[in-house]
Structure 1
Amino acid sequence: MTALRSSAWFDGDDEVALAHRVAVRMGGGEIEQGERRPIVAVIDTSSDANPCNLPLRELAEHVRRGVTDAGGTAMVMPAMSLGEDLMKPSAMLYRNLLSMEVEELLRANPIDGVVLLTNCDKTTPGALMGAISSDLPTIQIIGGNRPAPVFDGRELGTGTDLWREMDRYRSGEIDRTEWRRFEACYACGTGSCNTAGTASSMAMIVEALGFALPGASTVQAGQGPSRDVSYETGRRIVAMIDEGLTPSRILSEASLRNAARILQSVGGSTNAVIHLAAIAGRAGIVFGPEQVAAAGAGVPVIADVQPSGAGLMRELDRAGGVPSLVFELGDLIEPEPVTCTGKSLRASGRAPLAANESSAAIRTVSDPIVAGPAIRAVSGTLAPGSAVIKAAASDPRLWRHRGPALVFHGYDEMRERTQDLDLDVTADHVLVLSGCGPVGVPGMPEWGMIPIPKRLLQQGVTDMVRISDARMSGTSFGTVFLHVSPEGAVGGPIALVRDGDMISVDVEAGSIELEVSPEELDRRRGEWVPPVSAHLRGWPLLYQQHVEQADRGADLDFLTAPTAAHRRRVDPVVGRS
């Protein structure tokens, strides 16, 4: 049985240990001198400013009950809630800050294990990154998906159907009255997007990595199963503390490959590629776009969920969730990695539930939605590091394309010019958005799904090649090359592209080329002026000075752990405060 880290706070007859025990009792907990009672942190990221995470608020008490029944003491601790809707310029700017907050909460307090309550896009990886750096026994609880609103008799997929309706509105297919009517029905309860966007993608990745109980990642918000999972998670974390089952025993290259395969099988979010790289980096593992793409070789899209499929997360959950995906993927899932259950991911596999209307939500490998891999990596003279594309949600006719560049520098210019009916653009153009990567803006907002120019929308054009150093929502779709590395703000080739330059892409060949001579690029580089940051202090300045490129996870360089020495947790001196 593993010694308790918290005993350094509570064991002893001196005034320091006495004060610590009294503090726990004053907070409603129980601890006696010499008693073995594990202390579990319950990190709660709920917030009124983040409707995605609001379902978590009630789950903390179910976790507490499970911890107590298993012989532990739970301490609920609030942490930053990274709301995708309201935080600007992007919640991504604060993912690493949340990871630092979680790591320091766990380091500074008498904590033996942690349950992370998360849901929204960046909250889930950010909290997990901090827990991995702390290397204390960790389980994550996902708040669940929101209900589906109904518009004109059809259920809406969060995000995905918003982008579609936006294009209908911009093209004039629907008027302002219809647009307002759509807005009125779009709000339909709390929870994460009900499609395979970033929140759901990261939830399923957490389960595939081994940091959530089987089936926990696809639960529906506010339903009985989410409360049951929370209680069982509270019980299980106490056992994990006794077993010494820490993140360093769970996270490995093999578990990352399994997670990447689950991501590929659902046609999930390209944002997950960045988060996987950052999660891996906290354990000293390199797992970037190339590794995600390689792990996805031979993995088809078998989950019929938007935006790569047609259904919603509710149907995937009813069909069995991640355990059923694991079952269908079979030998594609590696058996060695251990999960928070103490067993392998493959051991959690179970056949999809066929006796209901959701049976088609999970297909077989031999009869997939898309052949896959869903997410692919490309590189070339325009992206010497890499770029990614969600091929499963793009037009295969554009996978091999050559056309002239139309360049936008910044969000406002992009939005204004794409609305201009006099814009000189054809469907063969390649739209390029530069200066919106991790250092640019900063925070790499989801601006990469460049709107189809209005004049082309009115001609019936629904997709065209778009390239950016930004990200796009996991609920988005289209032939969009993202996360171009190095980014424009640090002088990457994308900063040197000019209108009319010929660009060629080939998804199958994995190439993305700027057809400009090296001599001309050198000349342009000599003329290039680095952008001057508007930030002279505070977190944004620190972020811009230390953030790594997208292909490395956009983590801060001083938070990564390339060596065993970097991965060693340094606990505080426990004395008078």
Structure 2
Amino acid sequence: MTGKLRSSAWLDGTDEAALLHRAALRSAGATPDGRPVIGIADTASDLNPCNLGLRDLIDPLRSAIEDAGGTAVVFPVMSLGEDLMKPSAMLYRNLAAMELEETARAYPLDGLVLLANCDKTVPAALMAAASADLPALLLLGGPRTPAMMRGRRLGSGTDLWRMLDERRTGRLGDDGWAELEHCLGTTTGACNTMGTASTMALLTEALAMTLPGAAGLPAWSTELAELATRTGRRVVEMVREDIRPQRVITQAGLDNALRVLAAVGGSTNAIIHLAAIAGRLGLDASLDHAARIFADIPLLADVEPCGARLMQDFVAAGGLGTLLKALGELADPTAPAADGRTVADVVAEAPAPGEVIRPRSRELAPAPTMAVVRGSLAPDGAVIKVAAASRELLRHTGPARVFSSYEDMRERMDDEASAIGPDAVLVMRGCGPVGAPGMPEWGMVPVPEPLARAGVTDMVRISDGRMSGTSFGTVVLHVAPESEVGGPLALVEDGDLIALDVPAGRIDLLVDGTVLEHRRQAWSPRPSPHRRGWPALYRERVLQAPEGADFDVLAAPTPDRRRVVPPVVGRS
């Protein structure tokens, strides 16, 4: 042990406060006898099928902690389930991060194991761990078993969007649609494509916040129980060695995470989450920094939606270690791994690249797979997943068709579809961090049905919102500043020409400046329906997408702001 346990401030001594604290733990079955107290943050919920399997990992995790000389205590945490939460689980990411951080701060905990799996639980756990700065690891629940439909495996999310297109164009009838519903509802676990959950799992491993080899282990795998055992042992070691997130999450690890994101064609949501984590630690995940890294990274993972395989195939091919080996000198070998080794050590033991994880000599698509664009429509930047876009649309100029809310789009799209040509640029605004609020995944506006029936499969779409990591298409996202705070997107009108030039890093509204100024003078924000509670607080404190959509009071760019004030321990 490098020093006195944090929990000793609660538990040591003979006064009435220490006695009460020890008695409270004993009543829960814990043994407060000088052993490190390890909190197990449980995000399992019947409302969140992605995280439901985490319940099965608590017993082996608890046993491993106890066997390693610690005391395990389980506490519940808000479960952020992407399938059912509306308008978006993203609205509650910061709330879950705050709950985790303040629980860690308020209780006699020396270390943490954070159970997480679904899209927003993972970044919430990472943000909280960075700020609470107790020795911590994430234990991830893995992707779900692939469902079978008509002789082929279904990729979560990605195949839903594909079959939605088939239904809208008449190629999939009611029977097929009902069959899809039953197939998708068969197993628990996260999406088995390279959506946000799988992307964030890989980035968590790259950030040294989960053990090597953990990312992507299938939810049905017996290896997960063994991983829980290793995680329990390791977190007790980390407490004894005082290994904390603010020391573990380095700029080298963050840069590797950005490289991994690009190499797997991962979720654009991860750009926001990495910015939020970096903002807690004073690291650089700015769009300019990310763009410089993205410029050199080709697509190496053959996983949907940018490839043809699933996460189970990725893990069987060697997982993150093999991907880092494929990146070669593009990755930083000095970055730490969660088991105390370095990336170089992990790579040395990893299998060689092959078909699912390609060597750079046989890349699936050239660099960049992700890009940042700026211009008069997005002065503070926007992002696009190039690997999921149509190459012929990366340079495109067309007339805008503007939708100011999700309801507006659903109501008007079919009515006005006949007036929308294939060269149109579909604009979805009002869904940024402040706008909805919570930045929902409304950015991938569907191709109008008449065009889809005519064979149009993609159009340029632009939004201040997000899109699912399982989605695909030429979609420019996270436009900043967002329309709700008066960004240029708020001034676009139907018929305005918009020019996208991804190779040049540009996105511009081709409207005369005097016209735009006249529109700006006439513009005013919409009255917010949120007068109280969390949505009202969220709108007041949330930062824009390039800053991670974190709260201004939670970001901590300087060491002084990252300082954790010790609790005042005494009688309650």
- Tell me the TM-score normalized by structure 2: 0.98
- List per-residue Cα deviations over 1:374-414 (Å, max 9, x = no partner): 11111100000010001001101100001111111110121
**Aligned counterparts, 1:488-527, within 5 A:** 488-527=483-522
Select 2:219's aligned residue among 204, 218, 221.
221
* 1:321 Cα deviation from its structure 2 partner: 0.7
Q: How far apart in 2 are the matches of 1:422 and 1:108?
A: 55
Select 2:53's aligned residue among 39, 52, 55.
55
Match of 1:39 in 2: 37
Q: Which residues of structure 1 form unaligned runs of 5+?
A: none
Match of 1:115 in 2: 113
Equivalent position SS for 1:233 = helix
Is the contact made by 1:433 and 1:467 (CA closer than 8 Å) also made in structure 2?
A: yes
**Aligned counterparts, 1:224-243, within 5 A:** 224-243=222-241
Match of 2:5 in 1: 4
Q: How far apart in 2 are the matches of 1:222 and 1:26?
A: 34
Match of 1:15 in 2: 16
User: Is 2:292 the partner of 1:294?
Assistant: yes
Equivalent position SS for 1:49 = coil
Residue type of the partner of 1:494?
Answer: L
Match of 2:246 in 1: 248
Select 1:567's aligned residue among 555, 562, 568.
562
Q: How far apart in 1 are the matches of 2:416 and 2:166?
A: 16
* 1:323 Cα deviation from its structure 2 partner: 1.1
Is the contact made by 1:352 and 1:362 (CA closer than 8 Å) also made in structure 2?
A: no
Q: Say which is worse superposed, 278-287 or 266-275, in terms of deviation.
A: 278-287
Q: How far apart in 1 are the matches of 2:305 and 2:348?
A: 25
Select 2:364's aligned residue among 365, 369, 372.
369
* 1:422 Cα deviation from its structure 2 partner: 5.0
Q: How far apart in 1 are the matches of 2:70 and 2:332?
A: 33
Equivalent position SS for 2:560 = coil
Is the contact made by 1:328 and 1:351 (CA closer than 8 Å) also made in structure 2?
A: no
- List per-residue Cα deviations over 1:492-518 (Å, max 9, x = no partner): 000100011010001111100000122
* 1:286 Cα deviation from its structure 2 partner: 3.4
Equivalent position SS for 1:378 = strand
* 1:330 Cα deviation from its structure 2 partner: 1.7
Equivalent position SS for 2:440 = coil
* 1:468 Cα deviation from its structure 2 partner: 0.4
Match of 1:554 in 2: 549
- List per-residue Cα deviations over 1:20-55 (Å, max 9, x = no partner): 1121111111122xx3x1111110100000000001
Q: How far apart in 2 are the matches of 1:576 and 1:339?
A: 41
* 1:346 Cα deviation from its structure 2 partner: 2.8
Q: Say which is worse superposed, 343-352 or 17-26, in terms of deviation.
A: 343-352
Is the contact made by 2:212 and 2:337 (CA closer than 8 Å) also made in structure 1?
A: no
Is the contact made by 1:169 and 1:179 (CA closer than 8 Å) also made in structure 2?
A: yes
* 1:222 Cα deviation from its structure 2 partner: 2.8
- List per-residue Cα deviations over 1:98-123 (Å, max 9, x = no partner): 00000001000011111110000000
What root-mean-square deviation, in Å, do the aligned CA atoms of Structure 1 and Structure 2 show?
A: 1.3
Match of 1:138 in 2: 136
Is the contact made by 1:40 and 1:72 (CA closer than 8 Å) also made in structure 2?
A: yes
Q: Say which is worse superposed, 285-294 or 307-316, in terms of deviation.
A: 285-294
Q: How far apart in 1 are the matches of 2:106 and 2:324?
A: 38
* 1:553 Cα deviation from its structure 2 partner: 0.3
Match of 1:266 in 2: 264
Q: How far apart in 2 are the matches of 1:182 and 1:69?
A: 45
Instruction: Give aligned-pair identity as a percent.
Output: 53
Q: Say which is worse superposed, 240-249 or 279-288, in terms of deviation.
A: 279-288
**Aligned counterparts, 1:148-547, within 5 A:** 148-350=146-348, 353=351, 359-420=354-415, 422-547=417-542
Is the contact made by 1:135 and 1:247 (CA closer than 8 Å) also made in structure 2?
A: yes
Equivalent position SS for 2:223 = helix
- List per-residue Cα deviations over 1:396-455 (Å, max 9, x = no partner): 110000111111111012122222375311110100011110000100100000000011
* 1:296 Cα deviation from its structure 2 partner: 2.2
Is the contact made by 1:404 and 1:428 (CA closer than 8 Å) also made in structure 2?
A: yes
Q: How far apart in 2 are the matches of 1:537 and 1:518?
A: 38
- List per-residue Cα deviations over 1:112-148 (Å, max 9, x = no partner): 1111100000000011101110111111111000011
Equivalent position SS for 1:206 = helix
* 1:243 Cα deviation from its structure 2 partner: 1.1
* 1:349 Cα deviation from its structure 2 partner: 1.4
* 1:350 Cα deviation from its structure 2 partner: 4.7
Residue type of the partner of 2:403?
Answer: F
Pairs aligned (count): 571
Q: How far apart in 1 are the matches of 2:16 and 2:569?
A: 12
Residue type of the partner of 1:194?
Answer: N
Is the contact made by 1:468 and 1:484 (CA closer than 8 Å) also made in structure 2?
A: yes
Is the contact made by 1:209 and 1:255 (CA closer than 8 Å) also made in structure 2?
A: yes
Q: How far apart in 1 are the matches of 2:349 and 2:11?
A: 47
* 1:352 Cα deviation from its structure 2 partner: 5.6
* 1:252 Cα deviation from its structure 2 partner: 2.2
Q: How far apart in 2 are the matches of 1:58 and 1:292?
A: 37
Equivalent position SS for 1:172 = coil
Match of 2:25 in 1: 24
* 1:549 Cα deviation from its structure 2 partner: 0.3
Superposition misfits of 4+ residues, deviation over 4 angstroms? 350-354
Residue type of the partner of 2:261?
Answer: L
Equivalent position SS for 1:384 = strand
* 1:353 Cα deviation from its structure 2 partner: 4.5
Q: How far apart in 1 are the matches of 2:81 and 2:316?
A: 27
Equivalent position SS for 1:76 = strand
Residue type of the partner of 2:297?
Answer: V
Select 1:88's aligned residue among 86, 89, 98.
86
Equivalent position SS for 2:215 = helix
Is the contact made by 1:197 and 1:268 (CA closer than 8 Å) also made in structure 2?
A: yes
- List per-residue Cα deviations over 1:222-244 (Å, max 9, x = no partner): 31111111110000001011111
* 1:185 Cα deviation from its structure 2 partner: 1.6
Q: How far apart in 1 are the matches of 2:126 and 2:59?
A: 21
Q: How far apart in 2 are the matches of 1:350 and 1:423?
A: 57
* 1:177 Cα deviation from its structure 2 partner: 2.1
* 1:339 Cα deviation from its structure 2 partner: 2.9
Q: How far apart in 1 are the matches of 2:164 and 2:349?
A: 39
